[in-house]
Amino acid sequence: MQLLNLLVLAATTLGLQALAKEIVITVGGNTTDDAGAVFEPQTVVAEQGDVVVFNFTQGNHTATQALFASPCIPAYFVDETVNGFNSEFRNAGNFSAITTLPVVIDNPNVTIWFYDHNTCAEGGVGGINVNESSWETLDGFARNALRLNGTGYEDTLPTTTATRPTTTSTSNSTGTSENDATRVVKLGGAAVAPILALAIAFL
């Protein structure tokens, strides 16, 4: 009986693998002014078990998973629970160093957003299993990338050196600019002046 169960399980697994598709997205073949064409096609539909293969053919690009509201930042920098894919830069030259990044689809009901680091700010984004009937559309994702001007993930990382105090500039009555440190010195001087006056009065 156990042997029969194992045979059925093996047959089912092989059957699912046979049904799984390989879906190719070419990266970097864009010869137009449309940054979104860095991914061709820009959006695909994949079933559970399918493998979406990013095929890097030209230029130096990335395929990096992102979240809808943060299109140009790796997903795992925004949400640690998302173990998103990131090809890093793949310099394929001019078809001289073609490489691939396979992504297995676990849940076809969840949209996977991705972008190219070099062209994200101009709309170099795409999606897998995009639900165009929801408010999270491919056009909306591209608009977010443009609106946020492709804020790079390195801008969100803490610096390795000591944190510099922020300074807020304001204009004083003379029209010149002063920062927080200048105002602290002025306030400190203003507090000391009455004490000095009292000390002189008692001499």
**Helix (H), strand (E), coil (C) string for the chain:** CHHHHHHHHHHHHHHHHHHCCEEEEEECCCCCCCHHHHEECCEECCCCCCEEEEEEEEEEECCEEEECCECCCCHHHHCCCCCCCECCCEEEEEEEEEEEEEEECCCCCCCEEEECCCCHHHCCEEEECCCCCCCCCHHHHHHHHHHCCCCCHHHHCCCCCCCCCCCCCEECCCCCEECHHHHHHHHHHHHHHHHHHHHHHCC
Contacts of 200 (CB under 8 A, 6+ apart): none
Q: Which two tokens stand for residue 111?
A: 């949209």
What is the pLDDT at residue 6?
54
The Cα 106–Cα 195 span in angstroms is 72
Question: Would you say the C-alpha torsion 93, 40, 125, 46 has a positive or negative sign?
Answer: negative
Contact 127, 43 (CB under 8 A): yes
What is the pLDDT at residue 202?
46
Q: What is the pLDDT along the chain (203 residues), one digit of tens a residue?
A: 566 555 545 554 555 556 889 999 999 987 788 898 999 999 999 999 999 999 999 999 999 999 999 999 999 999 999 999 999 999 999 999 999 999 999 999 999 999 999 999 999 999 999 999 999 999 999 999 999 865 444 444 433 333 323 333 333 333 333 333 333 333 344 444 444 444 444 45
Cis, bond preceding 41 (omega within 30 deg of 0): yes
Contact 57, 27 (CB under 8 A): yes
Name residue 96's beta-bridge partners: none
Of 131, 120, 139, the closest CA to residue 70 belongs to 120
How long is the chain?
Answer: 203
Task: Give the global pTM.
Answer: 0.67
What is the pLDDT at residue 195?
44
What is the pLDDT at residue 143?
94
